[in-house]
Amino acid sequence: MLTKYGTDNIIVMLIIGGILIFSPIIVSHKYLGIVLFTVGLLLILFTFWFFRDPERKVPEEARIDKSLVLSPADGKVVEIVEEDENFYLKSKARRISIFLSPLDVHVNRVPATGEIEFYDYNPGKYLVAYHPKSSELNEQSRIGLKTPYGKIFFKQIVGILARRLVCELKVGDKVNAGDKFGMMKFGSRMDVMVPLSAEVLVKVGDKVKACETIISKLK
């Protein structure tokens, strides 16, 4: 299944891919035609791969225990640090940063059940997503979620290749853990910030999956 968040990109990329595949019909140069056909085929395959939206189920443990925080994105944990969070938590917090390569699923999901209390969009810059400063400077959506067990702050951050974020969340929305809420396109990063009292259940280098990997427990 393909995600609805990439419909415009999917249409354009498939059209371009289709034109390239059929270009050997009008291109007289044999080897150029082969190259164009190959590029078109790879573009179509990449489109179906990048915009895939696989089914996911919230772990039974997280269904029972609402204090557990799920990963909102697929990718690799690249950093776990303590820092000040001044937008929503307004206190010191622990940041868990997840880097998404272009090969990861890019559909994002809500990390816990609760209510959206804060939303802010920053046009920002386009540093590579794994750059430490990308968390502060890059284009990003900042989201504050209040749960029965405390507050969570998370950010969609796009990288050097990405030029668009999709986020359907708005202040006042009631959400459930695992709900789809948007995507980041073509390589990006997701930061999740939890109170210092929360237990972090992943480590740097771990691979995580949106909706399926438990990354923290609120206290």
Residue 139: closest CA among 119, 118, 111, 160: 160
188 is annotated as an active-site residue: yes
Residue 192: closest CA among 82, 101, 94: 94
Cα 104 from Cα 137, distance rounded (Å): 23
Q: For residue 80, what are its two tokens? A: 């776990």
**Identified catalytic residue from 97, 135, 141, 188:** 188
Q: For residue 183, what are its two tokens? A: 């995507």
Q: Are 2 and 44 in contact (CB under 8 A)?
A: no
For the stretch 198-204, contacts whose Cβ atoms lie closer than 8 Å and that sit 24 or more positions apart, written own/partner, are 198/69, 198/94, 198/150, 200/80, 200/94, 200/96, 202/71, 202/77, 202/80, 202/96, 203/77, 203/80, 204/77, 204/78, 204/79, 204/80
DSSP state of 24: G
C-alpha to C-alpha distances, 207 to 46, 74, 166, nearest whole angstrom: 21, 8, 23
> What residues are annotated to the active site?
188
